[in-house]
Amino acid sequence: MKKYQEKLLRKAKKINFGFLLLGVLSIAAGINVFFTGEIGRGGVLNDESLRKIYSILLVALGIATLIFLTKKRISNEKLITCLG
């Protein structure tokens, strides 16, 4: 039983780097849209309010992704310590 708990604890400590990268890149894209107004592939947002909304949504998505990662990791560790 102890080996199983150690295996679960190691797995809980691992961070999913795909989601981490998604969160960081989303925040970076939101900051880029806010300052430059470009959304990629030549698309430019001319409306100031639309540019702000789009950048806020991108940054919020990035922050929510990072919060999800940390909460999932903490809840997995709590579950494993409760088992043992």
In the predicted structure, residue 30 carries a pLDDT above the cut 80? yes
Q: Determine the length of the chain.
A: 84
Between these two residues, 26 and 43, which has the higher pLDDT value?
Answer: 26
Residue 63: partners with Cβ closer than 8 Å, 6 or more residues away: 23, 27
Contact status, residue 12 vs residue 74, Cβ threshold 8 Å: no
Tell me: the pLDDT tens digits for 67-76?
887 776 666 6
Residue 34 vs residues 40, 44, 55, 73, 84: alpha-carbon distances, Å: 13, 11, 5, 31, 48
Which pLDDT band holds residue 28 (cuts at 50, 70, 90)?
Answer: very high
